[in-house]
Amino acid sequence: MKAVIETCGKQYYVEEGTVLYLEKLDAEAGSEVIFDKVLMVNGVPGKPYLENVEVIGNVEKHGKTKKIIVFKYLPKKHHRKKQGHRQPYSKVVIKEIITK
């Protein structure tokens, strides 16, 4: 089965075994996460979401992405600001898609 889910303000096309790197979730590593905002399953769209459909995923780990450098400056003003940022993420593996 294939589905489109909405989480963290984004939409993802998933099926069993899909690996997702999402914005950091409030679940612990090794726990299950249930996505109930399902937009489509096997080509059948919802209005806007499908009822009685859930996608279950397993949180494998949490981490941070590679560092990006943010450099701001104002020309001719001697103003420079260098900053780094690492976005936290959660690695989720989709276990199953359940239709009730």
For 14-74, the DSSP string reads: EETT-EEEEEPPSSPTT-EEEE--EEEETTEE-SSS-TTEEEEEEEEEEEE---EEEEEEE
Over the stretch 34-50, which tens digit does the pLDDT of each residue have?
999 999 999 999 999 99
The model's pTM is: 0.85
Owning domain of residue 17:
2-99
CB atoms within 10 A of CB 9: 6
Span 86-98, pLDDT tens digits: 999 999 999 999 9
100: pLDDT strictly greater than 90: no
Mean pLDDT of the region 16-26: 97
Q: How many domains does the chain have?
A: 1
Q: Are 73 and 55 within 8 A, CB to CB?
A: no
